[in-house]
Amino acid sequence: MIRWLSLAFALLLAGCAQHAPLPSAMPSLSTPMQLHIQREQGHASQLSTQDWLLVIQQEGAALRWSLIDPLGIPLSRQLLREGEWSNDGLLPPNPEARELFAVLLFALTPEGELASRYPAKDYRSDDPERHLQQRWKITYRSAQDFTLESADLRYRVTPLDSESAAP
């Protein structure tokens, strides 16, 4: 019971928190993109881990974001069009997914496009790291292999190529 109340309180606070900014214009991304997202929450003794698949597809001027669990069950489907998120399909709103997608979009934005897409006050870039709104730290291993970290939440992001997706 206490765990559920803690989760409800955390979700309430997350709803009141500042959201990650979206770019003023879409960055140059090579789509479609398939990423493995490993979500870690908590600390060493109480670490919970989840694995997800994220597919990012270009649809005209919009980007479609589909977050799926290992069983193929969709967790969130969002469209980003003209700087606004909208639900894609009948899934309930997922504020954590929208925040994740916004931070991922920032992390995937090429270095040369940051200044023209994001206000300078919102980010800092120190190779091999970026910081977004003093809440998110992105540590790169390569362009599509990085870690997103906030206070007690971590996402490890790695690309899925066609060879690793095959059975």
Q: Can you give the residue range of the structural domain that contains 118?
A: 29-161
Confidence of residue 167 (pLDDT cuts 50, 70, 90): very low
pTM of the model: 0.84
Structural domains in the chain (count): 1
- For 54, the token pair is 């994220």
Nearest to 35 by CA among 146, 128, 151: 146
Is 16 inside a domain boundary? no
Is 93 inside a domain boundary? yes
Is 149 inside a domain boundary? yes
At 49-105, the pLDDT tens digits run 999 999 999 999 999 999 999 999 999 999 999 999 999 988 998 999 999 999 999
Is 23 inside a domain boundary? no
Interatomic CA distance for residues 85 and 16, integer angstroms: 17
Is 22 inside a domain boundary? no
Contact by Cβ (8 Å): 154, 50: no
Is pLDDT of 14 > 80?
no
pLDDT for the residue 7: 44
pLDDT for the residue 8: 45
